[in-house]
Amino acid sequence: MNPATATLERGSDPCLQIQVDLSAMLDGELDAPSVRRVLVHSDACPSCRGFLEGIRDQVRLHRELAAADADPAPSARAKRLRAQLTENRRKLARILYELGRCFVLMGLSPDFSREVAKEPVPVPDMAMRGRNLLDEVARLEPGGEGGDWVSAKALLDGRLSSPAESFAKGQRLLTEALGLDPEAHESRIYLGLVHHVRGQRALARKQFSFVLANTDDRLMRSYALLGLGTMHLDEGDHEGAVQLLQQVVDSGVVGEQPRLGMAYFNLGLAYGMKGEFAECLRWFRRLHDELPHRRTQVARELDRRSLFLHLLRAHPEVHGAFARTLPNWFPGVQKEAG
């Protein structure tokens, strides 16, 4: 889910309200005219018809599982239903991850928050789906009370919050996702980012290290290596940062996932802070040439790296090289060199 790429606003998307009504209808909360409106719309709309059928299937599963659990000898049907419960937990973990990631990004980036505020459809839609799954899991779990899910359900209100609230909410959602699915490595990556930004470095390192120790997935490992490399860079261990970030580049995943191109940026910083300016410039050139869509973001990020820029200014010959090669990223350097 990416709220920043949504194309419909709440008021122009009839399916959003209909799908909200579908859940209310199954709970017996809609009046008769509203029920008719839902049924007419869902009959004509493939998306909403499929959504309604999916919810009905889940309701049937609840009832069948309750009957199967009364049998002391588990049947093949009971086993299938239990497998469905496990799958539901994974689905819910994914929903919590997507929402958690969204809230973390809103807490970190004003630009992202503005985009979500303009196009909020996916957040309430995903939250509504999450509430449906939470209700289902509660009914399928032994005892049927769902007490373990109360905290998650409170998080799925779809409300856009202030940056601080969004950040805290994202952390809690990601923690809930890991409670449902400990192998949800994407959730660990973002949770590690939250801890890092908050200065909880031991907790951040724990999450990134867990991913490295428990998956062979190149993409997940690269995100964990990038997180650890960034931590080493921030702590002043530039050589350690280089070793970790070089593994990201050597894996070849940057071509598959351009977001990992931040490894180029951090390698440039690490080499620059080590005083190895030729290598520093090489990585910035690669970033500039291979990931042109990141150029504006990189320019903003460089403006915040005052220590690195001060180091460049201390070496006039380096000023000139950077100004001639990447004038858009080092305009101040270019002026001083001239």
Per-residue pLDDT at 79 exceeds 90 = no
The whole-angstrom separation of Cα 291 and Cα 210 is 30
Residue 225 falls within a domain, yes or no? no
Task: Give me the chain's average pLDDT, please.
Answer: 74
The whole-angstrom separation of Cα 88 and Cα 184 is 14
Residue type, 246: Q
Residue 47 falls within a domain, yes or no? yes
Percent of the chain with pLDDT over 90: 36
Least confident of 10-19, 220-229, 248-257: 10-19
Q: Under a CB-based contact definition with an 8 Å cutoff, are residues 273 and 311 in contact?
A: yes
Residue 266 falls within a domain, yes or no? no
The enclosing H or E element of 172 equals helix 163-180
Per-residue pLDDT at 334 exceeds 50 = no
Structural domains of the chain, count: 1
Residue 96 falls within a domain, yes or no? yes
Residues near 236 by beta carbon (within 8 Å), at least 6 away in sequence = 273
Both tokens assigned to 228 = 């650890």
Per-residue pLDDT at 71 exceeds 50 = yes
Residue 51 falls within a domain, yes or no? yes
Predicted pLDDT at 177: 83
The whole-angstrom separation of Cα 64 and Cα 77 is 9
Residue 277 falls within a domain, yes or no? no
Residue 110 falls within a domain, yes or no? yes
Residue 241 — pLDDT band, cuts 50, 70, 90?
Answer: very high
Q: What is the pTM of this model?
A: 0.66
- Rounded to the nearest 10 degrees, how much is the dihedral formed by the CA atoms of 179, 210, 215, 227? 110
Residue 140 falls within a domain, yes or no? yes
Which residues constitute the domain of residue 36?
1-181
Both tokens assigned to 36 = 């008719």
Task: List Cα–Cα distances, 122 to 45, 58, 178, 210, in angstroms.
Answer: 18, 22, 22, 30
Per-residue pLDDT at 9 exceeds 70 = no
Q: Under a CB-based contact definition with an 8 Å cutoff, are residues 205 and 234 in contact?
A: no
- Rounded to the nearest 10 degrees, how much is the dihedral formed by the CA atoms of 206, 210, 211, 214? 180
Stronger pLDDT, 221 or 164, i.e. the higher one: 221
Task: List Cα–Cα distances, 231 to 143, 221, 235, 248, 311, in angstroms.
Answer: 44, 15, 6, 15, 20
The whole-angstrom separation of Cα 65 and Cα 78 is 6
Place of tokens 């894996």: 251
Written as one string, the DSSP assignment of 223-245 is HHHHHHHHHHHHTT-HHHHHHHH
